[in-house]
Structure 1
Amino acid sequence: MKVSVVRPSDLGPAEIGRWRALQESGPDLANPFLAPEFTLGVGRFRRAGSGRVDVLVGVVEDAGEIAAFFPFERGPLGVGHPVGSGLTDLQGLVAPADLALDARALLRACGLAVWDFDHLLAAQHTFAPHHTVQRVEPVMDLGAGFAAFEEEMRRTAPKTHRTIRYKERRLGRDVGEVTYEFASADPDDLRRLMAWKSDQYTRTGRTDRFARPWIVALVEHFHRTGFGVLSVLRAGGEPVSAHFGLRNGGVMAGWFPAYDTRFGKYSPGMIGHLRLAEGCAGNGVSEIAMGRGGKEFKEGFKGREIPIAEGRVARATAGAGVHWMRSAPLNRARGAVLDNPALYRRADRVLKTYARLRGRGR
């Protein structure tokens, strides 16, 4: 096989068409994070955010035909990550499920010393020997329509469903009529969501993604082009919660949910998720990938799961050694927290306490 490395912007209509055709070879490949629009968008804005990182695509050809696309980021010392690392909930090759490449040979062809991953499609044979941990990503299944989805939710998570509908009625009584807009084109709605999300990151001690101008520009770009869908929940005409997700045909990837903390007692995020399911089902979306994390909240919504993996592929280079020393201890600690609900809750409390103390210091 032959591997050519190009910038996303160098891909022509024929290559993009082939990319889309390969996405149709497996149900999980249709995820928006694996769509060409995501790689093209990150490739356009990521370099402006950090000139030391290149967004590239390995184009794998077999007998003159493109067999796979391998989107990746390459930094100093040949350290590689998935495109949009830290922002993406699904990663991997865009290729048929039965394709098996030599992972280290692929890295060598792409000029990488190491490539790490944390949301890799676990079923892909190429990287299977390099998994260290496997987890799952929950998915809302809307293929039978919203009525069937809600009926299944009543059966499998009755308490969650009753709570959401009760709080939605209470929100309507206390604040005003509850309405939902599936796709808002208003830039002010997007700016409001990003402000809410930045406040959430600060309150919970997380890194504020919207403090990075290139991420703001990327999200605005996806909103303008329609690859991103901004949904808004209102009560009495006032915005209460919002969600910005990415859409590729019939698949939505949840990305940035946020809400106005003044309405926190009504659980507006959970109301918004149920309304999002209804809006998606009514607009040709058959499933919503919810991303890893927040397991207790998402359990009541899921219809199926996508197996995903963490790990790294490394060649015998100095860059790979430096990467291991920096990342391995942190990854082990993070994995232990994610796999233990008690540790997860304790870590969450510690981060929130840190955020409060930091706020007082300021």
Structure 2
Amino acid sequence: MRITLALPRELGPTEVTRWRALQEAHAAFDNPFLSPEFTLTVGELRDDVRVAVIHDGQEIVGFFPFERHPLGIGKPVASGLTDAQGLVHAKDVHIDPVRLIKGCGLSVYEFDHLVAGQPLMGEHHERHPSPIIDLRDGWERYTEFLRAHSGKTYKSTLAKSRKLQREAGPIRHDYATTDLAPLRTLLGWKTDQYRRTGRTDRFAHQWIVELVERLLATQTESFAGVLDMIYVDERPVAGHFGVRTRTTLAGWFPAYDPRYSKYSPGLIHHLAMAERAAESGIEVIDMGRGQKEYKDKLKNGELEVAEGRVARVGAAAGLHWLMRVPARKTRATVMANPLLLKTADKALKTYGRLRTVLQG
């Protein structure tokens, strides 16, 4: 195994084509966050992104995109934003994970959404479900599943949609638009949501706003940004921005106008989005790891992602362990306990309300 490092912009058409071919050959890699286009776009905005190109003789057998942080700490590209992480590689190739991170000049590589089929996967890493909407059998079969397993939710969502139209006006769904105006409306809703719930506002970082705008402008057969919105009487009510491969749409930034919250606009929108996505050839909507009520109501399957790290022996790895691992284990304990999770969520929302009052 031979490793060469490159900035994303240094990859030529041959490397990008090979990356895409390796990705499309393995179902576990069918996620847009593992696509070359995603890393190339982030690399335009961040100078810490690198790609390890893995060779076996003269053949390229893998690509490992990562961010290099101080002390040789490696993280996934756009760490903290993405729901699929890891390297894209040829089937049956042996890649030693410690040798890989050494070849990248890293002491540690940490991850929290590592996809299946990874040489980086260890038996002691924590595994988490990542809920999906599986549309491979078609939209009708999916709605049959909802009627059987989430019948109350499905029926009430349809009823609220009818009520919304009676009381506010007709619904229009604009799927896969590339217009910036609705995107900015959506990001404004998302910022308000982050603040209300006490979360960090991701869109306070200008590079993330620029990333989303550039991804929206990327429209190819194998990769694209996907923005869709529902309107009531031509007023935007709910929407979502994500990215897709040919067959997988990654759920990323859903949001809605809270003035319409009594109608459950998020659920109305997700059902509309899933139907249009299925019509366009999407087979899986990956909603991402994390416990959310709407995910539980809409999912009809799950993938698995892992959280952990690969480390070399050394002082930097030891310091990283002290700084990150105990906190991660505490967070995992809270997430796994419904009572603790509810208490933490309530505390964050209280903080969000106080912050809004003080800032107002």
Q: TM class by shorter-chain length?
A: over 0.9
Q: Which 10-residue stretch deviates more, 86-95 or 328-337? A: 328-337
Question: 1:152 and 2:145 equivalent?
Answer: yes
8 Å CA contact retained: 1:5, 1:110: yes
Superposed displacement of residue 342, structure 1: 2.2
Cα deviation digits, residues 26-62 of structure 1 (max 9, x gap): 2121100000011011111123xxxxxx100111111
What runs of 5+ residues in structure 1 fail to find an aligned partner?
48-53
Structure 1 match to 2:262: 265
8 Å CA contact retained: 1:25, 1:95: no
Q: Which 10-residue stretch deviates more, 74-83 or 147-156? A: 147-156
| TM-score (normalised: structure 1) | 0.95
Counterpart-to-counterpart distance in 2, 1:339 and 1:99: 35
Letter in 2 for 1:136: P
Please show how residues 190-201 of structure 1 align to structure 2 within 5 Å: 190-201=183-194
Counterpart-to-counterpart distance in 2, 1:46 and 1:136: 30
What runs of 5+ residues in structure 2 fail to find an aligned partner?
none
Structure 1 match to 2:74: 80
Helix, strand or coil: the match of 2:125? strand
Question: 1:285 and 2:282 equivalent?
Answer: yes
Superposed displacement of residue 255, structure 1: 0.6
Question: 1:60 and 2:57 equivalent?
Answer: no
Question: 1:137 and 2:161 equivalent?
Answer: no
Superposed displacement of residue 360, structure 1: 2.6
8 Å CA contact retained: 1:131, 1:310: no
Q: What is the aligned-residue identity percentage? A: 49
Superposed displacement of residue 130, structure 1: 6.1
Structure 1 match to 2:38: 38
Letter in 2 for 1:84: A
Aligned match for 1:116, one of 107, 110, 118: 110
8 Å CA contact retained: 1:143, 1:287: yes
The alignment yields a C-alpha RMSD, in angstroms, of: 1.3
Counterpart-to-counterpart distance in 2, 1:225 and 1:69: 21
Task: Give the count of matched residue pairs.
Answer: 355
Helix, strand or coil: the match of 1:112? coil
Aligned match for 2:200, one of 187, 207, 220: 207
8 Å CA contact retained: 2:289, 2:305: no
Question: 1:351 and 2:344 equivalent?
Answer: no
8 Å CA contact retained: 1:2, 1:60: yes
Letter in 1 for 2:134: D
Letter in 2 for 1:91: Q
Structure 2 match to 1:361: 358
Structure 2 match to 1:51: none
Please show how residues 1-362 of structure 1 align to structure 2 within 5 Å: 1-47=1-47, 54-96=48-90, 98-124=92-118, 126-129=119-122, 131-226=124-219, 227-362=224-359
8 Å CA contact retained: 1:32, 1:246: yes
8 Å CA contact retained: 2:28, 2:117: no
Counterpart-to-counterpart distance in 1, 2:92 and 2:305: 17
Counterpart-to-counterpart distance in 2, 1:274 and 1:108: 45
Superposed displacement of residue 131, structure 1: 4.2
| TM-score (normalised: structure 2) | 0.95
Cα deviation digits, residues 220-242 of structure 1 (max 9, x gap): 00111232111001111110001
Q: Which runs of 4+ in 1 moved over 3 A?
A: 96-100
Counterpart-to-counterpart distance in 2, 1:345 and 1:46: 36
Helix, strand or coil: the match of 2:137? coil
Superposed displacement of residue 265, structure 1: 0.8
Residues 97 and 118 (structure 1 numbering): CA distance in 2 closer, same or farther, change over 3 Å? farther
